[in-house]
A and B are shown apart, each in its own frame.
Chain A
Amino acid sequence: MKRDEIPPGTLYLLILKALSLHGPLHGYEMANFIQQSSDEILQVEEGSLYPALQRMLLKGWVTAEWGVTAGNRRARYYRLTPAGRKQLTVELSQFERVFGAIQRITQIA
């Protein structure tokens, strides 16, 4: 099955969206969510979630705390902060603007 790399710059958007939909998630769940929600089309290099998460922690968009998974394993759960929620709308509108522009160009017959 051929999978597509996610467009650059959209990883934050995807993580923010995932967290806003599902509440606290750990990294593995995020990777699975992105993959499944996109009908297995979008594929992240799974490890690259972690540098992105660090950056988001630094920016204060998410907080992290340790919890226990269903399989009774220790995992770090990330949770959206109010600042993160605000960022999500920023990222969304930016994405739509860019995506809309690209679409307009590609639709010119």
Chain B
Amino acid sequence: MFLDESLRRIRMLFQGRRFQKELDDEMRLHRELREHQYLEHGKDPEAARREANRRFGNATALKEKSYRTWGWGWLESLMQDLRYGVRAMFRSPALTIVALLSLALGIGANTAIFSFIDTLMLRSLPVKDPAQLMFFGREGESGITDDIASTTLYSYPFFREMQKRNSVFSDVAALLSMWNSIHGTIEGQDAMQPMRVQLVSGSYFPTLGVQAIQGRVLTEADDTTEDDHPVVVVSYAWWKRALASDPAVLNRKLILGTTKFDIVGVAPPEFFGTSVGEAPDMWVPLSMMHSVPPLWDGYKNNFWEAMYLIGRLKPGVSSEQATSNVNLLYQQIIRSFPDADLSARNLGYLQRAHVGLTPMSKGLSSLRRQFSDPLGVLMGITTLVLLIACANIANLLLARSTARARELAVRQALGAGRLRIMRQLLTESLVLALTGGLLGIGLARIADRLLLRMISGGPDLVPIDVSINTHLLLFTFAVTVSTAVLFGIIPAFRSTRLELTEALKDGRGSSSKGSSRSRLGKILIVSQIALSLVLMVGAVLFIRTLVDLNNVDTGFNREGVLRLEIDSNVTGLKSDDPRMIAMFQQIEQRVSVLPGVKAASFASFLFNQGSWSTSIRVLGQSLNDQVNIKHNVVGNGYLATMQIPLLAGRTFGPQDTATSHKVAIISERMAKDLFPADVNPIGLHYYAGYTGTEPKPKEEIEVIGVVKDVKFGSLQERPQYIDYMPNPQHPWGYGTLAVRYTGDFDAISRSVQQAIHSINPRLPISHIGTLDEQVSSTLTYHRIVAQLSAFFGLLAVFLSCIGIYGLMSYMVGKRTSEIGIRIAIGASRASVRWLVLREIALLAIIGVAIGVPVTIATGRLVAAMLFGLHGADTVSLLASVAALLIVALLAGYLPARRAARVDPVVALRYE
């Protein structure tokens, strides 16, 4: 019954036009028949028509009533309001453009930032029941360790024991904490191509509950015995990109290292692994780790700890139960390994070790750890900008509603309800906001690409999905509607609460009634100035941080160095193979004699490329196994290439070979802190590779030189303990070559690549760039925050200026007659100008007075993101205050000048 009625209603909505026409026809027929009747009764035509109409009643009202019966009246009036709102927008184009632009920027920026927050922090992994997944330990560590009490990185045998013995997980999966970023070939193709391989346990896909869209995923059967399951599951993106979505993908094969792998399946498109922002190209079972370059040998090693563990909780098991079970087993399993070194020291470490389980429904992400702070700050900034934009539009609408006061008064006098008028005004602001929101979404698309590029900090985009989704649309819609309410509600309230007779009287408001209206406007301006101050100081702080970081002395010369990567794994040689060592030396020699090249050297770590560290023991000093030394294996020309000053001793030379006694060059800080004071460290000996167990040093090393401290991992770090070791003595499968050059980068780059290929034509070369780029890429996050906060700071000030200008113009306009009188009775132009400027200055000073404590308070929030400054930096604060005051006065100057030019005769004649 009700359903039928609703159906009829809806049908009616779509046939509105026909409905009107039929009703018209019907009513016309009625009146004509009546008229006809009267004519037959002998009335004259004029009277007949009049009588027929009289008996029929008010046709228009009746038609409207008929229409309202169907219950679509609200829609009708909404459409009317919308039309009216659009017309109103077009009537004052300047106001509309300013309002739309600031709205679009505000909403667009919020949407863009939110899309990153959504992707990195809010979205769940696209796997089955992600809430049941638990990560063993705390995120943030990766690599290989032999630490007896490691609680984040685990060995493969440990994983197997945990999987077998636990009673709280339905399954446990392991994955290598690093990628194998290698070059491999697709069978049937010659060219090597880069491949990012993720080694995972056979239980990885089943634990996550991910199914293949072609073929099958990896299973336990692929991970039973070492080295005889050459199978690989490829990602959807890689299948599309490298194999052009070949439908016969399951017949294709890959050659990684020297082993041929069968492609057995393709992962679903939305699956990117377990780390947000890192999408591997393929997954290979851990049983094959010794076949995939760099040929890790840890499948059976109890203390080759390099694996992350993920468990899926059994239904009904709490995370506390799981934690206690895991920790009980942790102690048992490690102690049960026959090769565990259970010295008193180690037992102490082990006893204190606690495995925390971290929920990982949103996946792992180094990107998230790195960017959650700046994204939060940026979200705050863009919200403030949006608030300023709202205040601005509220001000403009207030000014406009004054101009419309008479129109609204007339409508109220004619009987329009107050609610009806408020609804209309709110609809108008909603139209404005929705248009702004739509523009904002468009803008957000562009901003997203820009931000993604900024975050990626290089030519390869980070593989995260920031496209429009329901989350995002809901967010934007919520923002849009709340802005509309924010800037629309006050003007709507104001303009419907007026004394009709006052407003109906003409006049430019010589009455004092308008003063409360401009008081509201003033409050809005004051808050705009206060918010602008917060944003400006923030921008200044972030920019100074970026500049300071860029000016940090790295200890080496960042300019004039080309750097590139080679993949030496493709040779199939081990790094300690004499042929491999010779190959690196040949490349260094051939490149360094190229014209334009001053020096060239391989290094295991140039800058911010990770580290390899162990504790050491200096002969004659007591042991401190908490101090770790970062080792950098380099070529003989390294110091010359990087221009790191040698403070004492000598550099490496041809005399330092695999068989000669071991030597090292140490950093200044290491010499100062770890070697006996007042003794020249040159010639002293220390033991490296010290494992922290019994004093059984692996090798004795002689110090042959001391160099200036350099930045190793980041620009913010304190001086590090670093030793440099020659490659023949500590063979390293190099990847990075640094070349100091003069002249044209492209020409040098070409000749360097030719030189490398003349030694070995198969070596893949990638990531060609400069050292300077590599250093500044570590500032990505500071750069993003600095650039965006500067942009939004300027935007905020600009919007505030428009606000000040608008309000002052309005007030000058209202006071024209008063000013006219002042001038007529002898006030000078300058004093009139000052009259207006004084008002602006007062507002600006109040705004600043409110803004300063707010700024200092918010400064504390971002203190952790600053470098060498603190939140309440006086210089930044004073500079911002001064700039803001000047800009505010400039914005007010135009209206002030206009006031001073008022012609008293014209002004008074109007009265």
- Chain A residues within 8 Å of B, Cβ to Cβ: 26-28, 31, 45-48, 50-51, 53-55, 57-60, 71, 73-76
Query: Considering the chains assembled together, what is the distance between the CA atoms of A50 and B22 in angstroms?
Result: 11
Given contacts A51-B62, A55-B69, contact A26 B8 (CB under 8 A): no
Kindly provide the distance from the CB of B815 to the nearest chain A CB, expressed in whole angstroms.
Answer: 54
A-B pairs with beta carbons under 8 Å apart, 8 shown:
A47-B62, A50-B63, A51-B66, A54-B67, A55-B69, A58-B12, A60-B5, A75-B29
Given contacts A47-B57, A47-B59, A48-B57, contact A74 B29 (CB under 8 A): yes
Among A54, A71, A74, A75, point to the contact of B70 (Cβ < 8 A): A54
Interface residue count on the B side (C-beta < 8 Å):
27
Q: Does B90 contact A (CB under 8 A)?
A: no
- Whether B33 and A28, one on each chain, are in contact in the complex, defined by CB atoms closer than 8 angstroms, is yes
Q: Does B58 contact A (CB under 8 A)?
A: yes
B residues within 8 A CB of A28?
Answer: 29-30, 33-34
Q: Does B4 contact A (CB under 8 A)?
A: yes
Q: How would you classify the secondary structure of chain A's contact residues: helix, strand, loop or mixed?
A: helix
- Whether A76 and B5, one on each chain, are in contact in the complex, defined by CB atoms closer than 8 angstroms, is no
Q: Does B878 contact A (CB under 8 A)?
A: no
- Whether A31 and B30, one on each chain, are in contact in the complex, defined by CB atoms closer than 8 angstroms, is yes
- Whether A50 and B26, one on each chain, are in contact in the complex, defined by CB atoms closer than 8 angstroms, is yes
A residues within 8 A CB of B57?
Answer: 45-48
- Whether A27 and B70, one on each chain, are in contact in the complex, defined by CB atoms closer than 8 angstroms, is no
A residues within 8 A CB of B63?
Answer: 50
- Whether A46 and B69, one on each chain, are in contact in the complex, defined by CB atoms closer than 8 angstroms, is no
B residues within 8 A CB of A50?
Answer: 23, 26-27, 62-63, 66
Query: Considering the chains assembled together, what is the distance between the CA atoms of A77 and B609 in angstroms?
Result: 87
- Whether A54 and B4, one on each chain, are in contact in the complex, defined by CB atoms closer than 8 angstroms, is no
Closest to A30 in B: B30
Q: Does B65 contact A (CB under 8 A)?
A: yes
- Chain B residues within 8 Å of A, Cβ to Cβ: 1, 4-5, 8-9, 12, 22-23, 25-27, 29-30, 33-34, 55-59, 62-63, 65-67, 69-70
Seed contacts A26-B26, A53-B66; 13 additional CB < 8 Å A-B pairs: A26-B29, A26-B30, A27-B30, A45-B55, A46-B55, A47-B58, A47-B62, A50-B66, A51-B65, A58-B5, A58-B69, A60-B1, A71-B33
Kindly provide the distance from the CB of B1 to the nearest chain A CB, expressed in whole angstroms.
Answer: 8
Closest to B71 in A: A58
Query: Considering the chains assembled together, what is the distance between the CA atoms of A97 and B555 in angstroms?
Result: 104
Closest to B60 in A: A47
Kindly provide the distance from the CB of A81 to the nearest chain B CB, expressed in whole angstroms.
Answer: 11
A residues within 8 A CB of B34?
Answer: 28, 46
Kindly provide the distance from the CB of B314 to the nearest chain A CB, expressed in whole angstroms.
Answer: 57
Kindly provide the distance from the CB of A69 to the nearest chain B CB, expressed in whole angstroms.
Answer: 8
Closest to A53 in B: B66
B residues within 8 A CB of A58?
Answer: 5, 8-9, 12, 69-70
Kindly provide the distance from the CB of B833 to the nearest chain A CB, expressed in whole angstroms.
Answer: 65
Query: Considering the chains assembled together, what is the distance between the CA atoms of A74 and B26 in angstroms?
Result: 8
Query: Considering the chains assembled together, what is the distance between the CA atoms of A76 and B26 in angstroms?
Result: 7
A residues within 8 A CB of B25?
Answer: 74, 76
The 9 closest A-B pairs by CB, nearest first: A47-B57, A51-B65, A47-B62, A54-B69, A45-B57, A54-B66, A51-B66, A47-B56, A28-B33
